[in-house]
Structure 1
Amino acid sequence: MASSREPNCLTLPVSDRDHCQGSSIAKVTLVEYGDYQCPHCWAAQQIIPLIQQQLGEQIRFVFRHFPRSSLHPEAYHAAEAAEAAASQSKFWEMHSYLFHHQAQLADSDLVRYAIALCLNVDQFLAEMTSDCHMARVQEDIKSGIQSSVIKTPTFFINGIKHGDDDRLETLLEAVVKAERNC
């Protein structure tokens, strides 16, 4: 019997569990599996706002965690920090902070960022020390592996994996093409 999973397709559909920017009825959904210490993911963060600006209400951007701990030892804890900020409705603010400070992601740095974002630091620390967001990060990683993610960043445009082309300028072209084809 053939597998119901198609190669290079997003296996976990975008839902309310995801961190999204943009409308759920946008023509194009761009999903990124990323790592807060990955320099290529930092470069991608420079192009995402340009794509959002160009497509406006026609695009929804989704970020999922895919920390590559063997390469980036602080990335996993940074992902948990983003989730701890999300529990206080500040995911995107922490997301931005983590990328802008990706060379400084030690635990003490994460606490400084929580303070800078005016988070409830006691709650943030309690969540970070209890690993209560580990399951969420693991779910993202598992869905990435099931979707054939092997490196960061990896993008999916309307559920289809964007090629392994590392040139991020091709991403804009692919997203615009997807929007025109809808």
Structure 2
Amino acid sequence: MGWLRDNALAVWLGVLLVSGILLTVVLGYVGLVVTTALGGGAGAVGVLSGLALPYLPIVAVLVVATVISGLGFSWSLLRRLSIPRSERLQSAAERVEREYPAIDGLGLSETVAPPEPSTEDALDDLKRRYVAGEIDEPTFERKLDRLVANESVDDVRAAREREAVLDERSSERSS
């Protein structure tokens, strides 16, 4: 599922191009047959009714595939755009998701949530404040120790969560 999510834009574009080209080819063929039949003196109703049975389901499937892949491509493209991120947008999106449960599956609140500051960002900020003289050396050392301790706690927590997921998957497979 991860590969598909990462490459959704390319997959939707591929399906859109293939279904669009096939739809164009089928409609072009039908148009050519109708034009040829009308040029030969056949009735339009008879020609169209003769083509409707074999080609109408094909055209319907291709139209549906083209529309769905066009919507999927548009949605994937919109998700990749630079979307502003803030806590206010996140809380508004969470309210909308609570109000309309159908929207909850789209992950809108996670998309607009501000990124979590990384340990490296916090360390860079701490160094900048120390060099600028905003904090003294004991404060710098204390905050640095706390930052390093938090990083190791996060690593242990992440390892535990990974192990729990792996154990859960192995128990599902053995069942």
Tell me if TM exceeds 0.5.
Answer: no
The structure that has the greater radius of gyration is: 2
Q: Which one has the bigger strand percentage?
A: 1
Q: Which has the higher contact order (CA 8 A, sep 6+)?
A: 1
Question: Normalised by the shorter chain, which TM-score bucket?
Answer: under 0.3
Structure with the higher fraction of residues in helix conformation: 2
Give the TM-score, by structure 2 length. 0.23
Question: TM-score normalised to the size of structure 1?
Answer: 0.22
